[in-house]
Amino acid sequence: MTPHAKGNIRSVREKQTILVTGSSSGIGRAVALEAARRGHRVFATARDPASVEDLATTAGISTLRLDVTDPESAARAVEDVLRHQGRLDALVSNAGYGQYGAVEDVSREDWRRQFEVNVFGSVEAARAALPAMRQARRGTIVFVSSVAGKISIPFAGPYCASKHALEAIADALRVEVAPFGVRVVVVEPGPIETRFDERARREVGPLMSQPGPYSEFYGNAERAMETDFQMGKLPASSASRVILDAIESERPKTRYRITSMARLFLPLRQLLPDRFFDRRMKKALRLPDKV
């Protein structure tokens, strides 16, 4: 058991059937491999089935197509799991990406796409999984959130907003499904070694190359994302172990904070005033007081 996932871990781990979204890389892939290593039955999913084909060579892992932006795709994936296993014990809702850019610069379409994947996609995956869990009177839904779900980062407004929304949904859902024996867990990792930053750079690339009122700030924002905001970065396997410990726990925490950044800054955000964090963000991003 990892030190970050204290709780009553079952002395004899019961084999569970676990569905993981966004398994092509990063935390999702690490969760699928860790769950299989522990003897669970895993269904690793991705929008592009080719991106998870290699996982099927690992004992205990099957792969499925699941596009979280398509409710029918989510429903079919859950149906496939139930047809093969007759049960679904846990959902790890991990699929997501980061849309960076100044609030004013990011287009309406990109704002919508960010929420379609990170928020509505997570909701659809949970809605697809819940009927079987309610009927079984047991189950665990793990939402992979972020430090950005509690602390807003300038030039990452769309991503932060989507994770704030996901946390609010998880808080409501946790109470709603408790009478049915279903647990809801939120994981707030902080910086993890994944391909997440690569896609974030691709998303913000066009904005950085165009002239505009914020263009001179993007370079320093990118530098801060790669340095100041990467404190205590850990491998994806660290997150996967915490997630599996939560799934296996008789009474998991409602939230798990994995990296030192998450454990330090999230409590501070509740204690310190907004202006303090504004100043810290301006310093990290090297933003002038006025232009």
Give the ranges where 56-195 is alpha helix by DSSP (H). Answer: 71-85, 108-115, 121-136, 157-177
* Least confident window among 71-80, 173-182, 271-280: 271-280
pLDDT of residue 10: 44
Among all residues, which ones are annotated catalytic? 159
Residue 200 scores a pLDDT above 60: no
Residue 80 burial class via C-beta count within 10 angstroms: exposed 0-12, middle 13-18, buried 19 and up = middle
- Percentage with pLDDT > 90 across the chain: 66
pLDDT of residue 12: 42
Mean pLDDT of the chain: 89
What number is the average pLDDT over the span 124-153? 96
Residue 114 scores a pLDDT above 50: yes
pLDDT of residue 224: 76
What are the domain boundaries of the chain?
A: 17-285
Q: Specify the residue for token string 């939560």.
A: 246
HSE on the CB side for 18, CA within 13 Å? 34
What number is the average pLDDT over the span 37-55? 97
Q: Cβ distance 81 to 136 under 8 Å?
A: no
pLDDT of residue 212: 83
**Spatial separation of the C-alpha atoms in residues 206 and 259, rounded to whole Å:** 31
Q: What is the pLDDT of residues 122-134, one digit of tens each?
A: 999 999 999 999 9
CATH number of 17-285: 3.40.50.720
